[in-house]
Amino acid sequence: MADFEFPPAEVEAAMERAEADRADRPMPKTVQYDRASGRIVVEFTNGSAFMVPARALEDLEDAADEDLAEVELLGSYGLHWEKLNVDFTIPGLMAGIFGTAGFMREVQSKGGRSQSPAKAAAARANGRKGGRPRKTG
């Protein structure tokens, strides 16, 4: 693999841009697992907070409360569970990415297959009306 050398002036300029970027946006300050709500709570330097349901995240669905509580900040953008060997980016979670594409498809497909007394009653009522309306066209 080739070695790359960058001129010191370019490195200095990149460092200054990164520092300015950090100054313009809130940075994560703390992270904790809230047992009462079952959520991971990230607090930022500007006083805002972001919460996500812990067990909605891939590889955390069956984790024990004690293991979820061992979450830590990983740099400026990550969450890390050492014992569970699980990592997520905060920007990804804020964008609604709770796992791999396959995991997300599976989670989304379960919504229509859910069963509840209300759904069963609605299906019976629609059946008495003649069932699902026919598609036109």
Domains identified in the chain and CATH numbers: 25-127 (3.30.2020.40)
CB under 8 Å, gap of 24 or more: what pairs does 104-108 form?
Answer: 107/56
CA-to-CA distance for 92 and 108, rounded, in angstroms? 17
Q: What is the pLDDT of residues 42-59, one digit of tens each?
A: 999 999 999 999 999 999
- pLDDT of residue 86 exceeding 90, the answer is yes
Summarize the confidence of residues 86-107 as an average pLDDT: 91
